[in-house]
Structure 1
Amino acid sequence: MIISQKEIEVRYAETDQMGIVYHANYLIWLEIGRAHFIQQLGFQYADMEKQGIVSPVIDLQISYKKPLRYGETATIKTWVESYDGIRVVYGYEVLTPTNEIAATATSKHVCVTKETFQPVLIRKYFPDWHEAYERAKKR
């Protein structure tokens, strides 16, 4: 299993009136972690989109455990939780500066054509991605 790590400095604009990171900002961080993971595998979402394929989120689960605050650094760990050639489930941990778990999450994605939103087989359209996901996924 391959796990990528991406550090994000918590910006003031990401905090709420209580001084902690507003919950919706974690979704942006998950996307940053996912894009970083894909880059580490040697790919870019933009290349997929140039071929008329997009990868929408079809399910998202997140649990908040500990707060993060302005000025702290969050570490986003990302991996492939499961992959079946059509759907990809990414797993995430968001860590505090002391390596405590601030949040855990999963996001499920499917590749579809941009015009019709019909699902496509990753292994058929993107055999290199398919092989990389097979090697990277959780065993």
Structure 2
Amino acid sequence: MISKKEIEVRYSETDQMGVVYHANYLVWFELGRTKFLSDLGFSYQSLEDKNLIFPIREVKVEYLHPCRYGEKIIVETRVKEFSSIKTVYEHVIKNTDNDIKAKGESVAICVRKDNFRITKIERYAKDVYDAYVNLKG
């Protein structure tokens, strides 16, 4: 499954050189992850209500071509790897002409909200776990 999130580049996301500031790509990755979860029928709020949060442990970005103010882009997100405690998301940022602007990965880990200790997602959200497992099928 590939989730797609459309974004119009805002002026506030650009730097003095007129291109999107590099850290904003990470924000777009987050929007992609949130959209992916939503496309599966879940929300981060529902997971927080179950005492789960998913901090990012690692992120990689390869910047290929700059994005600019007013440009419409699409963040494509898919799951590359999944386990009870870790999800590796793959992100591709494209423009409407399908030119790849950036690509990367983010690694999210499952922790309890109350103590920030790693836990298995199926202990608290078996439905979400099953949905991610079924992506492989």
User: 2-side partners of 1:135 and 1:66: how far apart?
Assistant: 34
Residue 119 of structure 1 is matched in structure 2 by: 118
Q: Cα RMSD (Å) of the superposition?
A: 1.2
In the superposition, the TM-score normalised over structure 2's length comes to: 0.95
Query: Identity percentage over the alignment?
Result: 42
Residue 95 of structure 2 is matched in structure 1 by: 96
Q: Partner of 1:136: helix, strand, or coil?
A: coil
The answer to whether 1:30 aligns with 2:29 is yes
Deviation at 1:53, TM superposition (A): 1.5
User: 2-side partners of 1:50 and 1:84: how far apart?
Assistant: 21
Q: How does 1:54-93 map to 2 (within 5 A)?
A: 54-93=53-92
Task: Flag structure 1 segments of 5+ consecutive residues without an equivalent.
Answer: none
User: 1-side partners of 2:122 and 2:112: how far apart?
Assistant: 15
The answer as to whether partners of 2:50 and 2:124 remain within 8 angstroms in 1 is no
The answer to whether 1:9 aligns with 2:8 is yes
The answer as to whether partners of 1:79 and 1:136 remain within 8 angstroms in 2 is no
The answer as to whether partners of 2:9 and 2:72 remain within 8 angstroms in 1 is yes
Q: Partner of 1:13: helix, strand, or coil?
A: helix
**Matched AA of 2:31:** I
The answer to whether 1:39 aligns with 2:38 is yes
**Matched AA of 2:115:** T
Deviation at 1:124, TM superposition (A): 2.3
Q: How many residues align?
A: 137
User: 2-side partners of 1:135 and 1:20: how far apart?
Assistant: 39
The answer as to whether partners of 2:29 and 2:91 remain within 8 angstroms in 1 is yes
